Structure 1
Amino acid sequence: MTEMDIALCYESVLPSRGGAETYIGDLARRLARDGHAVHLYACRWDAAALPAATHYHRLDVPKGPRFRRPWLFAAACAEALTHARHDVSVGFDKTWGQDVLYPQGGLHAASRHHNLLKFDSRIARIVAAAGKLFDPAAWSFAELERKQYLGPKKPLIVVNSRMVRGHFEQFYGVAPDTLRVVHSAIDPLRFVAEDRPKRRQAERDTWGVSPDEPVGLFVAMNYRLKGLAPLIRAVAAVPRNRRFRIAVVGHPKFAKYERLARRLGVGDRLLFLGFRSDPKDAYFAADFLVHPTFYDPCSLVALEALACGLPVITTRYNGASELLTVPATGFVIDDPHDAQAFAAVIDQVLDPGYRRSASQAARYAANHWTFEQHYRALLDVFGEIRAAKRAA
């Protein structure tokens, strides 16, 4: 494919912060390596983490309340692009006017709906939904999303899972054939380490876990949305004669979950490790991943676990579940609140024979959908846009 002139639009690109900002940095470097001209429209960035040849377009956006700031950035970005002639312009979040919109965090409407599922009672969900009626940010983001996808200029939408594609049809009536699915991906080489066995044992020693004790890993910052409480209840439902631990990595504040584990009599099965800037050694020390999320467009945690040879237990609310082969590389549960069904899946993963075969299958799966393949699929989308614009 011949070189393209590509504009990337995101308010802040500080790749060390993770998430979309890390992704945009990775994408910019890969595009530049192929000789594509990369333009960045943003308010702030870390030039040291971006290609030297990047063309920067600073957008000065006035300060405002949280629910107004996306509108201000989006308007400034749309205005700046009217004076430019790029082959392809790409927006990643709450923007409009670009050729391609790639909402890596999924739809706000779907996120709002799924956030209610974390409550285990109907009454709690009704109360939470009522509270959102008085939240100006919820109203603002919903209106902005309608402007993005239902406005007069329809972008080509890229989504990172078929689940999110379904949400576009469910919430906005967008036909599935007008979207392109490009699953999220990672570079599995990030998790190659010659000293992995040594690091695994060293990490488990700090946990006080013996070499033969199975350990499940839970990694998340938002414990409530990612299903930590349902996980603890499921752990309590696994028979006491089954020996295993669950290591919890993420937010440094976890006292209420420790109390829940003690109240359910499984305080000894949970290891609360707090925040890790790099959880790689935790992956190395674990034997499987448990990610009972209530909403994840396409969880990178699940992909990282596969790259480390860990079978994955997740939910149908995670777009990354589409990349699993059940039961070869893991399991997909319907409802994290169903403690008995959840516990039965954990019990299956505790079988050492299963974990040996699943570990090999997980690595194989990780090596067959990588960031390079993701990048190539995205380039096809960009080429589609350029061809359409030239034909117009």
Structure 2
Amino acid sequence: MDIALCYESVLPARGGAETYLGDLARRLARDGHAVHLYACRWDAASLPPSTHFHRLDVPSGPRFLRPWRFGEACEAALRGANHDVTVGFDKTWGQDVLYPQGGLHAASAAHNQLKFATGIERAVATVGKWFDPAAWSFARLERKQYLSPKQPLVVVNSRMVRGHFERFYGVPPEAVRVVHSAIDPLRFAADDRLVRRQHERDSWGVTPDTTVGLFVAMNYRLKGLAPLIRSLPHVPRTKPFALAVVGHPKFERYRRLAERLGVADRVRFLGHRGDPKDAYFAADFLVHPTFYDPCSLVALEALACGLPVVTTRYNGASELLSAADGVVIDDPHDAPALGAAMAGLLDHGRRAPMSAAARAAGTRWTFEQHYRALLDVFTEVRRLKRAA
């Protein structure tokens, strides 16, 4: 197939969606598909040599207008092109397939309100959004993407997000394909894992009998770090426990919160890690009390490392968990429930079989399976286009 991928910047060293685009392009090229990239900037060395590059002008101006300019540039560049399938991954429109890996802006905005614990705080935040030009701009752009006369086939990475399409825009479920996110479990293979685990734990100052819960995120507020710290008083002190926090380097407000609650001795703030692999190795379970995650890669990485996962129903990755390898709570603000979920994992007798189940779960949904499911979508689109 002749496949066009549209994304403003493809610099895989920055991680996230850009790493995914590089992985997808290489896998498509390996199968002999012609890959065209429409972008403003890219790292050619991280993409297959056979890639056909189409440079678009770098959008300028205010942040809330740049996606519109990139979308217009994509639309103009693709006009008259004869690709079998065109795919947009972010705030673009007019492609055959749209794959919003970050979920819907409308859903994200609604879930962002949930991070505020009180109705008054949520009301103030809502009023603030009325004066945010980016919020208005992105909402309007999203309506253009999904409610225009030319309807794309939508790919989402969880059933949760598929439900959001129906709830916010009335897009029927049959117009949306669910292809869960995936990782390469081999990224976490290491013959010296036990040595690295011990070295890491020594650097944290935790004893061998201490159970470590790991939290990994850059957006501490949206991913629930404050509610997590507030839940620590509900984790009994009958067994040694520590929470390791990896992510954004600015964490002082959360350190102060831990001090006010009398749990500072149980929290290790580790700051940013370019590669958190050793932190996974050193931990015993992952706790990710997020308010919004279309399908958290952190949860999938934890499973691949054999870590049971504690998360919330606001995480699309919770669909991939079972009682054998994880715990899903309803509300990140429910401190007793979150504390009880962690307390249950302090018992090694319970945690050991969950760790084995987590490792098995982490190998079931691989990037290769994800790629095959996505290729089925592309094949479907090509068939429909030819039939038309």
Q: Once the 2 structures are TM-superposed, how far is the Cα of residue 377 of structure 1 from its aligned partner?
A: 0.1
Instruction: Say whether the 8 Å CA contact 1:226–1:295 is kept in structure 2.
Output: yes
2:12 paired with 1:15: yes
2:42 paired with 1:45: yes
**Deviation larger for 236-245 or 68-77:** 236-245
SS at match of 2:357: helix
In structure 2, the gaps of 5 or more residues are none
Give the length in aligned residue pairs. Answer: 388
2:357 to 350, 355, 361: 361
Q: Once the 2 structures are TM-superposed, how far is the Cα of residue 83 of structure 1 from its aligned partner?
A: 2.3
SS at match of 1:143: helix
* Alpha-carbon separation, structure 2, partners of 1:121 and 1:86: 50
SS at match of 1:212: coil
2:346 to 341, 344, 350: 350
State the match for 1:337 in structure 2: 333
* Alpha-carbon separation, structure 1, partners of 2:226 and 2:234: 13
* Alpha-carbon separation, structure 2, partners of 1:73 and 1:155: 18
* Alpha-carbon separation, structure 2, partners of 1:127 and 1:134: 12
2:129 paired with 1:132: yes
Residue type matched to 1:30 in 2? R
SS at match of 1:365: helix
* Alpha-carbon separation, structure 2, partners of 1:186 and 1:365: 12
State the match for 1:310 in structure 2: 307
Instruction: Say whether the 8 Å CA contact 1:215–1:287 is kept in structure 2.
Output: yes
* Alpha-carbon separation, structure 2, partners of 1:188 and 1:213: 26
2:138 paired with 1:141: yes
Q: Which stretches of structure 1, 4 residues or longer, exceed 6 Å deviation after superposition? A: none
The within-5 A match list for 1:215-230 is: 215-230=212-227
State the match for 2:52 in structure 1: 55
SS at match of 2:262: coil
Q: Once the 2 structures are TM-superposed, how far is the Cα of residue 62 of structure 1 from its aligned partner?
A: 4.4
State the match for 1:374 in structure 2: 370
**What is the CA deviation profile of residues 142-193 of structure 1, one whole-angstrom value per residue up to 9, with x for unaligned ones?**
0000000000100000000000000000100110111000000000011010
Instruction: Say whether the 8 Å CA contact 1:165–1:181 is kept in structure 2.
Output: yes
SS at match of 2:364: coil
**What is the CA deviation profile of residues 124-156 of structure 1, one whole-angstrom value per residue up to 9, with x for unaligned ones?**
000001100000000000000000000010000
Q: Once the 2 structures are TM-superposed, how far is the Cα of residue 197 of structure 1 from its aligned partner?
A: 0.4
* Alpha-carbon separation, structure 1, partners of 2:325 and 2:148: 41
Residue type matched to 1:126 in 2? A
**What is the CA deviation profile of residues 321-348 of structure 1, one whole-angstrom value per residue up to 9, with x for unaligned ones?**
000002x101001011111111111111
Residue type matched to 1:268 in 2? D
2:88 paired with 1:91: yes
Residue type matched to 1:60 in 2? D
1:78 to 67, 75, 79: 75
Residue type matched to 2:207 in 1? S
Instruction: Say whether the 8 Å CA contact 1:61–1:76 is kept in structure 2.
Output: no
State the match for 1:264 in structure 2: 261
* Alpha-carbon separation, structure 1, partners of 2:237 and 2:351: 20
State the match for 1:390 in structure 2: 386
State the match for 1:276 in structure 2: 273
Instruction: Say whether the 8 Å CA contact 2:287–2:311 is kept in structure 1.
Output: yes
* Alpha-carbon separation, structure 1, partners of 2:235 and 2:194: 28
Q: 1:347 to 1:131 in 2, by over 3 A?
A: same
* Alpha-carbon separation, structure 2, partners of 1:83 and 1:197: 56
The within-5 A match list for 1:114-133 is: 114-133=111-130
TM-score, normalising length: structure 1: 0.98
SS at match of 2:310: strand
Q: 1:352 to 1:265 in 2, by over 3 A?
A: same
Q: Once the 2 structures are TM-superposed, how far is the Cα of residue 239 of structure 1 from its aligned partner?
A: 2.0
**What is the CA deviation profile of residues 340-378 of structure 1, one whole-angstrom value per residue up to 9, with x for unaligned ones?**
111111111111011110111001111111100000000
* Alpha-carbon separation, structure 2, partners of 1:387 and 1:275: 46
Q: Once the 2 structures are TM-superposed, how far is the Cα of residue 212 of structure 1 from its aligned partner?
A: 1.9
* Alpha-carbon separation, structure 1, partners of 2:299 and 2:59: 38
2:297 paired with 1:295: no
2:249 paired with 1:247: no
* Alpha-carbon separation, structure 2, partners of 1:153 and 1:321: 33
Instruction: Say whether the 8 Å CA contact 1:196–1:284 is kept in structure 2.
Output: yes
**Deviation larger for 206-215 or 290-299:** 206-215
State the match for 2:282 in structure 1: 285
SS at match of 1:242: coil
